[in-house]
């Protein structure tokens, strides 16, 4: 009890606010917040990050919650900042899942679903494959370090307890969603174009040779063409994803770290 009495209440409140922000990132960010990572590991990561970041914030403006409700509002705002940063990156990854769904549907392999532990749902195997490739690219280019650097930048612009989440961030998420949709279209464009041309050729063959069972032949041709085109264009899809990571992260940070309007 004597040791607890010596704890600085101001620093304890500041530490819990930093912990709430790091917890939001550990919950929502790709790789860090994946359900494949045990909850104990994610909690330990958030706590370790808070231990490293909190001493840097000791000199920040003091936080004085007026009561339990005020304190919960501060914790919720800090959690929202971490969740927003992680959610923005996760939205970009959803574009890769869209690319896999387009390839699987047009290639006639949409029923070949696999269980995805990250989304806890059944998704086309192409979506799962492209997601794993994108995750590998994300790690190879240091995306996890970029996200951590972005988290540190938010503490400079939004000190713990500022309770000042930018109101324009919802519009920023819509912009990121549009970029994610464009990413899915661009990543799937080579395979989708080849499959559409294959379907057109098969249609012409069926009109020329009506006795040919085009359903049996066409399914095998589409499957072979899907895997072949994907093997040749996988690098291009990874490159398209790579060039989108930094702009999206910069857009998120510009929205989160935007200067707050002056209050009279």
Q: Between these two residues, 156 and 180, which has the higher pLDDT value?
A: 180
pLDDT (0 to 100) of residue 5: 47
pLDDT (0 to 100) of residue 247: 85
237-252: average pLDDT = 84
Q: What is the pLDDT of residues 19-62, one digit of tens each?
A: 888 888 888 888 777 777 778 888 898 899 888 888 887 776 65
pLDDT (0 to 100) of residue 208: 74
Structure tokens at 201: 């050729």
Q: What is the mean pLDDT of the chain?
A: 78
69-94: average pLDDT = 84
Domain ranges of the chain: 2-256
Q: Is the pLDDT of residue 81 over 60?
A: yes
Rounded to 10 degrees, the C-alpha dihedral 215/216/222/225 comes to -150
In angstroms, the CA 151 to CA 23 distance is 11
Q: How confident is the model at residue 254 (pLDDT cuts 50, 70, 90)?
A: confident
């Amino acid at each position: 009890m004597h040791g607890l009495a010596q704890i600085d209440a101001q620093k304890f409140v500041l530490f819990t606010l930093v912990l709430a922000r790091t917890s939001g990132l550990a919950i929502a960010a790709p790789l860090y917040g994946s359900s494949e990572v045990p909850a104990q590991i994610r909690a330990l990561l958030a706590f370790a990050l808070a231990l490293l970041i909190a001493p840097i914030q000791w000199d920040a403006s003091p936080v004085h919650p007026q009561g339990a409700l005020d304190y919960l509002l501060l914790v919720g705002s800090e959690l929202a900042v971490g969740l927003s940063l992680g959610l923005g990156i996760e939205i970009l990854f959803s574009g890769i899942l869209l690319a896999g769904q387009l390839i699987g549907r047009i290639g006639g392999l949409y029923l070949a679903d696999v269980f995805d532990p990250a989304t806890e749902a059944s998704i086309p195997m192409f979506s799962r494959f492209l997601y794993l490739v994108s995750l590998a690219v994300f790690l190879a280019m240091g995306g996890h370090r970029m996200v951590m650097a972005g988290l540190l930048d938010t503490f400079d612009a939004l000190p713990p307890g500022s309770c000042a989440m930018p109101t324009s961030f919802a519009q920023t998420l819509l912009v990121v969603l549009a970029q994610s949709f464009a990413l899915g279209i661009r990543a799937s464009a080579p395979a989708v174009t080849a499959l559409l041309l294959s379907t057109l050729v098969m249609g012409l063959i069926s009109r020329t040779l009506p006795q040919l069972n085009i359903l049996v032949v066409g399914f095998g041709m589409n499957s072979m063409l899907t895997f072949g085109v994907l093997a040749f264009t996988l690098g291009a899809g990874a490159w398209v994803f790579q060039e989108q990571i930094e702009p999206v992260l910069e857009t998120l940070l510009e929205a989160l770290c935007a200067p707050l309007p002056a209050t009279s």
